[in-house]
Amino acid sequence: MKDIDHSSGFLTLNAGSSSLKVALFPTEGDDPLITGRAERIGPEGELALQDAQDQPLAVAPGDLTSHAGALAAIIATIKAAHPGLELAAVGHRVVHGGPDFTDPVLVTDEVLDRLGQLSSFAPLHQPHNIAGIRAAMAAFPGVPQVACFDTAFHRGQPFVNDTFAIPFRYYEKGVRRYGFHGLSYDYVTGELERIAPHLMAGRVVVAHLGNGASMCAIHRGRSVASSMGFSALDGLPMGTRCGQIDPGVLLYMLDQEKLDTAQIRQVLYNESGLLGLSGGLASDMRSLEQADNAAAHRAIDYFVFRVQRELGAMAAVMGGIDGLIFCGGIGENSRVIRRRVCERLGWMGIEIDHGRNAESATLISSEFSRTTVMIVKTREDLVIARAARLAAGITEKETA
């Protein structure tokens, strides 16, 4: 394998519907040289980047009305901060890998075509992921592009957790329970293997709680059940997404309210969840906690209830629970949500230490708790960077 020049680096991109998260990693090491994001891509687009010391970088001027324009501004800023930088690879988060993509892959025209065919499975995510890849390919011709899939972590789940009770022909067409947030679960599982290997030998539920939220049952290091299913809508309520819903409600919207599919999609993805439950007050948990009114309380109450309900289901799948792990923006930062979720769960052996919880310590369960409760700060960007490093090494070996 050829040595990679130490002036090279690895860029990670996470393209959302109106945002673009970015991190620049060195050839070796887990600490990024630059992090940041473009938000509200469009007429009101904003871009902020920070160096390794969290100091803001002077952002290069650019057109933030499109993902391509935002990426161009990001690249110009990075090149100004690191003159002579040569990228060894670019890693991308791709929400949906369908039934076949079970590991990160080097992007080819064929891969892009297959990812495009999955856009109907994730209509509000996949097209932007693909657009980010195409923009990076144009910006860095000849640099390996690596796709990392949120669904891959869950692809080994048992059939009963992979299917719906509808005609089997739909399963054969790819209508399955895929699960998402796999990059986060991949990182958390790796960290647990390092800091608490005894948990990885047992039964763990990881709660990735944020603007997007899901839970995963992990038995002996493998995903066996996820709260999310065919789409990133299922399971827990999220910032603006509904979570679990009776399909009859969708039929009601179609038949009685005469909504078309685009209007229903708008309701389910953008007007529901914490935002909808709070009557439009806020989609952000911090804002709801600060509001402290009836509208905020009903949204928080429902969120906590659904997390507790899913936790019971995940424990049932595994025949018990040895550890509960919080991660994601809410899971890592909200001591209120963690405390409330763990209330009334003594029957599962869960008891938290309120002092540790208030400090957001790594271990927040009490010494009397039979079930370990922890906080692990997730690093999806690092999972992508590691995959990009590996892919760059393979590429160089093959072309040496």
Q: CA-CA distance, 301 to 336, in Å (whole number)?
A: 11
Here the tokens at position 242 are: 């509904």
Q: In the 8-state DSSP scheme, what is residue 46?
A: E
Q: SS3 of 295, please? A: helix
- Residue 234 φ/ψ region, left for φ over 0, alpha for ψ in the -120 to 50 degree band, beta for the rest: beta
**Beta strands of 158-255 (E only): which ranges?**
203-208, 214-219, 222-226
- Please provide residue 20's backbone torsions phi and psi, each rounded to the nearest 5 degrees: -145, 105
Question: Is 150 in the active site?
Answer: yes
Q: CA-CA distance, 292 to 80, in Å (whole number)?
A: 45
Q: CA-CA distance, 296 to 279, in Å (whole number)?
A: 9
Q: CA-CA distance, 69 to 125, in Å (whole number)?
A: 18
Q: CA-CA distance, 166 to 204, in Å (whole number)?
A: 30
Residue 50 burial (C-beta neighbours within 10 Å; 0-12, 13-18, 19+): middle
Rounded to whole angstroms, the maximal C-alpha distance in the chain is 65
Side-by-side strand order, sheet with 20-26:
46-51, 34-39, 20-26, 8-15, 86-94, 145-149, 105-106
Q: CA-CA distance, 193 to 186, in Å (whole number)?
A: 11
When computed from its CA atoms, the radius of gyration of the chain, rounded to whole angstroms, is: 21
Q: CA-CA distance, 93 to 229, in Å (whole number)?
A: 18
Query: Given 63, 113, 150, 162, which residue is catalytic?
Result: 150
Q: SS3 of 277, please? A: helix
Catalytic residue IDs: 150
